[in-house]
């Protein structure tokens, strides 16, 4: 039963991601904006969407010197380092 539920949830998530990416693409085209979406699955795998591409949008964000950019980047790096430390223990 649990396998069926996870399969159904996976299908729902896939449809929602597709819909979100479609809307983000429309927003980018209609407004002439750059868009990046990064979603982490329950398993920790990233799902990326970017217009024109994720890397350039994230780079642009980091270069904007927005106060949240550096703070969020540092939090992300700290979490990565913590995960690396946890892996070494086991």
Q: What is the dihedral of CA 75, 80, 81, 83, to 10 degrees?
A: 130
Domain range list for the chain: 2-89
Tell me the pLDDT tens digit for each residue of 31-64: 999 999 999 887 788 999 999 999 999 888 888 7
Q: Which residues neighbour 69 within 8 Å (Cβ) at sequence distance 6 or greater?
A: 61, 62
CATH architecture of 2-89: 3-Layer(aba) Sandwich (3.40)
Q: Are 33 and 52 in contact (CB under 8 A)?
A: no
Assign 87 a pLDDT band (cuts: 50, 70, 90): low
Global pTM value: 0.62
Q: What pLDDT does 1 receive?
A: 47
Residue 35's SS3 state is: strand
């Amino acid at each position: 039963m649990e396998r069926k539920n996870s399969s159904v949830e996976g299908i729902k998530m896939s449809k929602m991601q597709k819909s979100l990416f479609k809307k983000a693409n429309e927003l980018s085209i209609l407004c002439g904006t750059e868009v990046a979406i990064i979603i982490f699955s329950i398993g920790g795998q990233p799902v990326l969407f970017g217009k024109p591409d994720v890397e350039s949008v994230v780079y642009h964000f980091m270069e904007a010197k927005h106060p949240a950019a550096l703070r969020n980047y540092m939090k992300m790096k700290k979490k990565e380092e913590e995960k690396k430390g946890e892996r070494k223990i086991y």
